[in-house]
Structure 1
Amino acid sequence: MQTELTQISCTAFVGGESIAKGSLQHVVATVKDTLDDEEIARLLIFNDLTGKPIDIDFRGKTAEVLQRLSDLAGHTADAEESKQPSRRVGRPKLGVVSGEVTLLPRHWDWLKSQPGGASVTLRKLVDEARRSGKYESEVRAAQEASYHFMTAMAGDFPQHEEALRALYAGNRDRFYQLIDDWAPGIRDHIKTLAENAFIKEET
């Protein structure tokens, strides 16, 4: 978890200009070493996966800022570890972990009648659902990331609402047309975030 927190991909902006991109740890160190206090006060760092801003305490020297970030990551990792069950049931060496499933009798009857039994059938059903839902999940994630970033950085830009409607309608050409005159740094980052919002489902 510590690695995930400090290494998540993010982008830093001062005004409409992108001034650093990379892992959170890299971006924090870069902006701390290159920006003055006034610029840091106007700084916004965004998670590239979610489009949401990340709050960082920039007080002190670079080493102190990075240490606080590392400590935060460690606390998060400890909290996640405490949620994990202390005993794993199943066949862990084979990657099989047992869990509880609650179904009605008719569901169990149907599962038991399938070739391979209940466990094999459930695994097949889950895999099929994951495959069929991958397209919708990618589109939805790209839409949400774009929405969060656009709301934070382009909420007062012209045709903002129209651009959001085009985004959720999946109209790539209209979306690009509406944001074309926006600040280049912001516009280009939006295009990156929105890339999967316009993917076509594979047939």
Structure 2
Amino acid sequence: MSKTRRREELLAAARTVFAHRGYQAKVEEIAAEAKVAKGTVYLYFPDKRSIFVELIDALFGRLAEAILRVDTGGDVAEQVKHNIRAILSVLVDDPDTMRMLFSHASGVDPAFGEKIDSFYDGLKMLLTESLKEGQELGIVAEGDARLYATFTLGGLKEILWEVARRPEVPRQREEIVDAVYALLQRGYLRVPPRPR
């Protein structure tokens, strides 16, 4: 097996273990899930924290790639909905990573809490920059973009928490997309009417 493939298998095993046991999971459990010896894990990762950091960084990368820049020359409403849908898909299609984010173990180990905080801070920064760009384009109301981002991220976390707890929610994605879009439109979003 190639080193790249083995590394991916170890990360997949770690994602599953962290999702069910939280950050307090042991490297031995990751090795058992991957069906390898504990020493094999250490050939690829120096410690448990580095595995966790890589999983969270990969999630942030997938989210950043999924969000498209809005082009005011096109259908802005559909582009915003696409971005909402993309964020939901990245998280809902990877339930183990989503469970990792909502693990209650953040108080158990400072490294876990710091990495989760860093993840959300990165998302907030990404969203703040997107909202500032939207303000320049005239599709986001004037105001404190960071505060708008904080409200939006807080709402998104609650929606994702519901998705993590209730398995029927993923089937309602379009309802979620429409509801989030409607809320944004009544708030800071200023989408021009579609040309007829």
Range class of TM-score, shorter chain: under 0.3
Q: Would you tell me which structure has more strand in proportion to its own residues?
A: 1
TM-score (norm 2): 0.22
Q: Would you tell me which structure has more helix in proportion to its own residues?
A: 2
